Amino acid sequence: TQLLEQSPQFLSIQEGENLTVYCNSSSVFSSLQWYRQEPGEGPVLLVTVVTGGEVKKLKRLTFQFGDARKDSSLHITAAQPGDTGLYLCAGAYAGNMLTFGGGTRLMVKP
């Protein structure tokens, strides 16, 4: 059974701080997706990374895929209250179904 571990599970920070969320597995991903879920809504895709070592930026969010494609990180610069939500990573293994990580609940206080 493939397992995706996300850390930390919870994160509460002040507006303006930086943070990093991690997504790790012992297996190699063919691709990895990051989602954000806000209260009362479904998860929404932020980015997909495919190539080992790939870095993608989405405004203040930077996504990195590990060289070995077993891990990924999401870095948020100067967090804002609007970044509050549940961040989920999901890994695809050799064309099979996606497996979701347990999520990181982020709260950014004004």
Partner 1 sequence: DTAVSQTPKYLVTQMGNDKSIKCEQNLGHDTMYWYKQDSKKFLKIMFSYNNKELIINETVPNRFSPKSPDKAHLNLHINSLELGDSAVYFCASSQVSWGFRHFGDGTRLSIL
Q: Which of 40, 21, 39 is nearest to 102 (CA)?
A: 21
- DSSP assigned state of 69: S
8 Å CB contact between 75 and 62? yes
Query: Judged by CB under 8 A, which of 2, 31, 62, 84 binds partner 1?
Result: 31
Give least dist CB 94 to partner 1, A.
9
Q: 48 or 73, CB closer to partner 1?
A: 48
> Using CA atoms, how far apart are residues 66 and 49, in angstroms rounded to an integer?
10
8 Å CB contact between 79 and 61? no
Q: Which of 45, 31, 44, 50 is nearest to 97 (CA)?
A: 31
41 binds partner 1 (CB under 8 A): yes
Q: Tell which positions 77-106 bind partner 1, by CB under 8 A.
A: 86, 88, 90, 92, 95-98, 100, 102-103, 105
66 binds partner 1 (CB under 8 A): no
What residues make contact with partner 1 under the rule CB under 8 A?
Answer: 30-31, 33, 35, 37, 40-45, 48, 86, 88, 90, 92, 95-98, 100, 102-103, 105
